[in-house]
Every structure is written in C-alpha cells, then in structure tokens.
Structure 1
Amino acid sequence: MDQQGHGQTSATGIVSSAAAVPYGIAGYQPNQMMGTSAPGSAGSIRSPTQPSGASAPSSQLAQHQLAYQHIHRQQQQQLQQQLQRFWIKKIMKADEDVRMISAEAPVVFARACEMFILELTLRSWNHTEENKRRTLQKNDIGAAITRTDIFDFLVDIVPRDDIKDEVLGSVPRIEGPAEGLPYYYMPPQLTPRLVLRE
C-alpha cells in the first residue's frame, strides 16, 4: 500500500472558502458568448432568476432570439444542401451505366449548377436592364440563351415565341413551312468569318 508523505497534501476534498459556490447557482455565465463581462470578475456568477438590471431580460431575450434564428437558418441551409445533393445523386443514378457515386461528386455538381444559374441570371439581368425594366422575365432568359453561344444547348428548352420580336427582329425570315427545314448546328469556331485587311 502506498501512503502519502507528510509534506504532500491531497487536492481531493479540499475546497477553499473563496471557491465555494452555493448549490443552485449556475456555474457558467449566460452572456459569455456575447463577451459582455470578464469571466473571472467577482460577482459575475449569477443565478438565472436574478436579473442584473431592468434591461437584462429584454436584452437576453433578444440575444436568445438571434441565436435561435441563426441556428435555425444554419439548419435550413444544411437541409437544403442535403436535398440538393440527394436530387443530384438521384439524377446521376438515373443513368443505367452509373453504379456508384462518390461523396464529392454531388457536391461538385451542386456548385457547378449554382455557377451556371448565376451566369445565366446575370446575362438575363443585363437584357432586363437594356429594356429599362426591373423584373426578370422569361423572355430575358431566352434572350440571354440566344445571345450566348455556350447556352446553345438550351435553345430547344426555352420557348422562342417571346423573344422572336426582340432579338431576332433584324434576321430575315424564310418563307415556307418551318417543319421542312432541318436543324443543323454549326460550332462557332467552324463558321466562316469575314477578315478585313487595311
């Protein structure tokens, strides 16, 4: 059996009178997150039922509401991101050849979709401002698609009825049925260009 020497004192069971905290008083400071007072100051430990002043309950209520709103907003964003990843993963699995999807792939696709939507929105907004409007409309999106070569894959998706008069008004129309004309896409780098020499 080991016995302690007479010169050493055990720290267990010894509580100094300054460190004694009565039962029922909170051992933490409720405003510690906001940094309103020093944590080591005397009298900073209060019971939750004792207000420090007349405005303390209303300020604490406001702080709790802000904290709750912040946490709620974070949870909603996290849930929304999980749902986006779920739908992206579901679309990817719709292909018969896809068997497994890594965890990073839906995240990358989600970011790419955000960037695509942002680019299309900015180009559509430019068309809206050119027409001196402040409301983005379907024809603005169609105009952005027809003006930008990289969005050519969306030409068949967005109806062109609304944008024919605005964007394609200067293009001469061919008389005759449109069903008889085949659609041929020519990439921009293969189109003949006019070279001016001075």
Structure 2
Amino acid sequence: MIASLSSLLAIAAVAGLVVLGPVHAHAQWWRGTPVDFESCADAAEKAKTKEDRTSALAECNAKFAGRRKPGGGYTYYDFMQDRTFDIAGPNPTPEEQKKIDQQYTAYLESQRRSNIAAALTAKQQQQQEQESQRAVQQVALRTEVERIPVPVASPVKQAARIKASNCKKDSFSCEWPRLSQSIDDLKKLFNPTPSNPPPAKPKRG
C-alpha cells in the first residue's frame, strides 16, 4: 500500500512537471517578447551571425512602425509626407492612422496647388521675356529708321512753297505769276516759232 502510494505520488509529480513545463516555457517567451522597435532591435543584436541580425532587424522594422521618444511616447515617420507624427504606442492606432491619412490628403492638395502656382509663375515669366524681346526689337527698328536720311527739297522749291503758303487768296501778287504763265502759253500757241527759219539775206555794201 505504501509502495503504491509512493508510485502514485511519483506519477503525479511527473505529470505536474509535464503540465507546468510548457506554462513556464511560455512565460519565459512572453517575458522575452519585444514591446517596441527598440527592445526588438536590442534582441536582434544578440543574434549569432550578421545575416541573422539583419533579418531580425528587418522583422523588427516591419512589426513596429513607431520609434520611442526620449521623454515618453512614440513618433511615426511618414516618408510619403516627409514628416513625423506623435503616437501613443509603438504602432499607430486606427484613429491615429486615420488622422495621418487625412494629413496626407491635405499634403497632396497643397502639393498640387504649389505645382499649379509654379506653372503659372513660369508662364508669366516667359510672357514677360517675350514682351521684353519685342520691345528691344521695336527700339532697334525705330533706331534704324531714324538713321535713314530724309530727302530735303531744294532751297528754291522751299522758298516757292513758303511763298505760296503765305499768299492770300485772290491777291494780285499771287495770281500774277499764273496769269503771266498763261499769257506766254497763248503767245506760243498763236505765234509758233518756225522750226527752220529762212536764211538771212546778205547785206549789200
């Protein structure tokens, strides 16, 4: 009976060890699980080979998006916006991720407006340059035209033009030259000059 009781106790002890063994092992694994990127990176540095460390760090980076802040809390870097956001834990919560996405939408709109403004500014500068070039060409053309000498009337014609402009209408001094010219024309009409005048007769001595 005593032997049987001892056997039962031994069996119970072995069974207890079998049952408690996995629980203890699970507790050790849970205590060793990294809670954020920094603790995960510390564990990854203990890997035996360089390849294992590199692989472990890649897993840490994929598992934890946030980075620990010196004063507490975490920051999340969004490379699409090139800025950081404060978050409560090692990864953004759904609400925090929603706010980050909203900020990204606003960022895209701001970028679009900036691109439009830059395009308009470039177009205005191009138009101003074209207008400046046209102005320079017009000045050069005007200068070239001014260099061409203007024909000047002879002094006789200028005096006649001035005299004609100063003449009063129906005045004798202005009308006489025209009348005189008309009389000369009539004389030539009625007394034409012979084209072959007769030879002069020799004088007797």
Q: TM-score range by the shorter chain?
A: under 0.3
* Larger CA Rg, structure 1 vs 2: 2
With normalisation by structure 2, the TM-score equals 0.26
